[in-house]
Every structure is written in C-alpha cells, then in structure tokens.
Amino acid sequence: MIDKTPPILPSGCGTNGTREVFAAAGATNANYSVVWANATDNDGQTPTLVATHQAGVHTFQLGQTAIYGFYYDASGNRAECTRYILVRKYRFLSI
C-alpha cells in the first residue's frame, strides 16, 4: 500500500501561529527563540523537519516575518507549518 497521507502538524501552526515580540527602546529588531515541535505520522516515525529558521535564537527586524517548517515523512509526503514573528516598537506608557 502506498502512503499518500501527509504528516500531522503540531499545534501552533497556521492561522494561530503569530508570535508578538517587542524591540527594546530605540532598537529596530528583537531576538526571538524559534522552537519547532515534532509532527507525527501514520507510519509511527517522526517526520523530518526542514525549516527556514532552525530552532534557536534569531534576530527579526521590525514588522512581520513569515517562517516556514516543512515536515516530510518517509514516503516523501509533506506538511507545511507557517508561523509569523511580529516585532513591534517598544512604547513607554504615559501615566
């Protein structure tokens, strides 16, 4: 039997995948620690992850950046996880 079922994505992918971070006062970027959870597959093996940003700390510029994770199973089926990192300017609150 040929496996044509893509891996099952971990939670945090898709429309709810925006992570908001704030740049320090006067800065134009911020650091964010990228973490990818494991996907699952119907063959019981953990799919391989290929990502635009590997796990670890990355510097992102002000604004929104898309990061992508592609999960491949042993049969070559692919599932795509899209997340967004939104870097905003730090604002002091006036009292």
Give tens-digit pLDDT for 46-84.
999 999 999 999 999 999 999 999 999 999 999 999 999
The total number of structural domains that make up the chain: 1
Looking at the domain assignment, is residue 5 inside a domain? no
pLDDT at 16: 59
Looking at the domain assignment, is residue 84 inside a domain? yes
Residue span of the structural domain in which 30 resides: 14-88
Looking at the domain assignment, is residue 4 inside a domain? no
Looking at the domain assignment, is residue 94 inside a domain? no
Contact criterion met (CB below 8 Å) for 8 and 79: yes
- Give CA–CA dist 58/51, Å, rounded: 13
pLDDT at 14: 60
pLDDT category of residue 10 using cuts at 50, 70 and 90: confident
pLDDT at 18: 87
The whole-number average pLDDT for the span 1-18 is 81
Q: What is the DSSP string of 43-60?
A: TSSPPEEEESS-SEEEEE
Question: What's the pTM value of the predicted model, to 2 decimals?
Answer: 0.83
Looking at the domain assignment, is residue 61 inside a domain? yes
